């Protein structure tokens, strides 16, 4: 308790310094206390607004009806459409070489991409894929399985003509578990798969294991398949998995549909409907018709803030706290920490704070009547950090404000399921914007590009430089923002070598009609 009081008092910086020194003298005694206190500190710091002048002007902004109408105009047809020709997919082989297991780490969206790659590797090896095992994320501590998140029957059915998939191993291979591979070196485990390995690498290194033992387990697996020099049918299969086979479980979709309905028809927000979402959606009408909304993914959690090594306005106490967090999780090995905040921001390497996201949206022309859906697990700094964004956009909602505690019971405390709901709502929003690049941003940009949906990609380098200029007037800021985002609202960008087809689906997943 004394540590917590020290952090939240005027002597917070000194207490944080003591926290850094104590473990050196009492390593065992203070390991748990240090981590717990660091967590409390990082969530209790109140950062001051960093852009007061711009913020005041943004509160007084006025948007003309013409500007308001223009910003909501959907993307025009860009001449690209999803690849749907089944003739492009090679058929399922009659004989399997054995069972393929993969163990996927990371968050929901990193695991999603790993699942797509796992299907592709199974196809390359002519193997039977075991439903991928999702590792427990060390940050979010979520043990949700594939079947907790994705509709496994739909997944198997969509891919039944491409590869063989089983929900679990037959009894003769039941020994092949995560625990089995964690206790010793096993000949059936491949842990040397290089990042972005070629199809030939798998044929040369994994296929022999399959043929010798009837099973092969790859761990780690994330990012272990190259995007270039792949057969067309393998690329198309990866697209098919990502955009067709991976569908969330029914209760995630149902809750997502309910949230979307309440965003579009605000009058229905407080109607108690329990779990009977379809009836609400069918019966509730709004005299004004459906309203438009923007989904905003903040990606502003403690883990991200520490890894970025940027300054977010919390003073010395915050800097010491984030430095300690980096020491715990990455042993201080964060490249960005070698640079000053000004250098990082001018290079576009600092994620946008909620305040900066609000200023960006205001500059683009969204007025204070805009409905925002906040897609975020846990914002670093809590409600105090979000307050500036809420003042600019008072009609901001999230899962908690839109759904009852009973409706959220199945996803409470489960980061992957919470992220799945946000992903689902984000895919159905009129406009999506992310505070910074990351796995959620990349997955959503690619998925919405595939469906030609409007998606704003913040120009991070431009914004970083603008926010460093404390003498910038609102008209100057707004003009620079508008010009800097003219072609960053969902326009097709062809995938370049080494880039992910999950972020850039054209031309691998799409054809020019």
pLDDT in tens, 384-407: 889 999 999 999 999 999 999 999
Residue 31 confidence (pLDDT) above 70: no
Instruction: Look at residues 10, 29, 6 and name the one whose alpha carbon lies nearest to residue 18.
Output: 6
Higher pLDDT: 282 or 339? It is 339
Higher pLDDT: 240 or 36? It is 240
Where is the domain boundary, 282, 316, 350?
350
Q: Is the dihedral of CA 269, 402, 109, 359 positive or negative?
A: positive
Q: What is the extent of the structural domain holding 311? A: 1-44+301-350
Rounded to an integer, the average pLDDT of 414-418 is 94
Q: Residue 14 domain-assigned? A: yes
| pLDDT at site 9 | 34
Q: What is the 8-class DSSP label of residue 242?
A: I
Rounded to an integer, the average pLDDT of 282-310 is 82
Answer yes or no: do 167 and 37 share one domain: no
Q: Containing H/E element for 190?
A: strand 189-190
pLDDT bucket at 471, cuts 50 / 70 / 90 = very high
pLDDT in tens, 472-491: 999 999 999 999 999 999 99
Q: Residue 396 domain-assigned? A: no
Angle at 163 (CA atoms; ends 245, 239), nearest 5 degrees: 40
* Tally of residues, the chain: 513
Distance CA 37, CA 44 (A): 10
Q: Residue 415 domain-assigned? A: no
Three-state DSSP class for 189? strand
Q: Is 257 exposed, middle or buried (0-12, 13-18, 19+ CB in 10 A)?
A: middle
Answer yes or no: do 40 and 95 share one domain: no
pLDDT in tens, 99-118: 999 999 989 999 999 999 99
| pLDDT at site 45 | 58
Q: Residue 498 domain-assigned? A: no
Where is the domain boundary, 350, 372, 390?
350
CATH for 168: 3.40.50
Average pLDDT value over all residues in the chain: 87
Distance CA 222, CA 113 (A): 8
| pLDDT at site 474 | 97
Q: Residue 178 domain-assigned? A: yes
pTM for this predicted structure: 0.87
| pLDDT at site 451 | 97
pLDDT in tens, 110-163: 999 999 999 999 999 999 999 999 998 777 688 999 999 999 999 999 999 999
**Both tokens of residue 231?**
């057969």
Distance CA 448, CA 432 (A): 9
Q: Is 262 exposed, middle or buried (0-12, 13-18, 19+ CB in 10 A)?
A: buried
Answer yes or no: do 219 and 122 share one domain: yes
Place of tokens 């790993």: 114
Answer yes or no: do 210 and 346 share one domain: no
Q: ω before 358 within 30° of 0 (cis)?
A: no
Answer yes or no: do 25 and 127 share one domain: no
Q: Residue 460 domain-assigned? A: no
Place of tokens 């469906």: 451
Percentage of the chain modeled with pLDDT above 70: 86
| pLDDT at site 89 | 66
Q: Is 56 exposed, middle or buried (0-12, 13-18, 19+ CB in 10 A)?
A: exposed
- Euclidean distance between the first and final Cα of the chain, in Å? 65
Angle at 326 (CA atoms; ends 324, 330), nearest 5 degrees: 135
Answer yes or no: do 240 and 318 share one domain: no
């Amino acid at each position: 308790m004394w540590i917590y009081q020290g952090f939240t008092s005027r002597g917070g910086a000194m207490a944080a310094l003591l926290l850094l020194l104590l473990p050196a003298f009492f390593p065992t005694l203070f390991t748990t206390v240090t981590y717990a206190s660091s967590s409390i500190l990082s969530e209790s710091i109140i950062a001051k607004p960093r852009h007061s002048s711009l913020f005041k002007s943004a509160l007084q902004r006025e948007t003309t009806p013409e500007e308001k109408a223009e910003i909501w105009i959907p993307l025009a047809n860009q001449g690209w459409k999803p690849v749907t020709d089944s003739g492009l997919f090679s058929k399922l082989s009659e004989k399997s070489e054995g069972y393929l297991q993969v163990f996927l780490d990371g968050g929901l969206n990193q695991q999603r991409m790993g699942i797509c790659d796992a299907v592709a590797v199974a196809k390359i090896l002519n193997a039977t894929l075991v439903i991928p095992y999702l590792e427990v994320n060390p940050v979010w501590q979520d043990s949700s399985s594939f079947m907790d998140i994705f509709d496994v029957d739909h997944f198997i059915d969509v891919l039944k003509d491409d590869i063989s998939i089983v929900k679990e191993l037959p009894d003769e291979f039941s020994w092949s578990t995560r625990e089995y591979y964690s206790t010793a070196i096993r000949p059936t485990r491949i842990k040397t798969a290089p990042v972005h390995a070629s199809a030939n690498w798998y044929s040369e290194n994994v296929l022999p294991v399959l043929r010798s033992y009837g099973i092969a387990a790859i761990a780690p697996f994330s990012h272990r398949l190259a995007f270039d020099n792949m057969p067309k049918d393998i690329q198309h299969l990866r697209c098919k998995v990502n955009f067709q086979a991976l569908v969330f479980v029914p209760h995630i979709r149902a809750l997502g549909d309910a949230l979307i309905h309440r965003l579009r028809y605000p009058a229905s927000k407080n109607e108690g409907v329990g779990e009977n979402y379809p009836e609400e959606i069918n019966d509730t009408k709004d005299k004004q018709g459906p309203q438009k909304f923007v989904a905003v993914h903040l990606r502003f959690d403690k883990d991200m803030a520490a890894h970025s090594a940027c300054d977010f306005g919390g003073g010395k106490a915050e800097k010491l706290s984030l430095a300690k967090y980096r020491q715990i999780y990455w042993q201080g090995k964060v490249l960005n920490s070698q640079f000053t905040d000004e250098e990082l921001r001018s290079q576009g390497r600092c994620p946008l704070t909620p305040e900066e996201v609000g200023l960006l949206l205001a500059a683009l022309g969204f007025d204070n009547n805009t409905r925002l859906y906040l897609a975020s697990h846990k914002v670093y700094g809590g409600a105090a950090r979000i307050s500036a964004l809420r003042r600019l956009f008072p009609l901001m909602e999230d899962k908690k404000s839109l759904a009852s505690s009973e409706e959220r019971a199945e996803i409470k405390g489960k980061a992957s399921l919470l992220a799945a709901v946000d992903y689902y709502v984000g895919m159905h929003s009129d406009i999506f914007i992310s505070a910074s690049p990351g796995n959620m941003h990349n997955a959503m940009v690619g998925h919405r590009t595939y469906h030609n949906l409007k998606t704003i990609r913040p120009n991070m380098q431009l914004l970083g430089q603008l926010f460093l200029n404390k003498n910038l007037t609102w008209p100057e800021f707004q003009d620079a923002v508008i010009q800097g985002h003219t072609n960053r609202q969902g326009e097709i960008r062809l995938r370049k070598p080494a880039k992910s087809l999950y972020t850039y689906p054209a031309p691998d997943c799409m054809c020019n009609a």
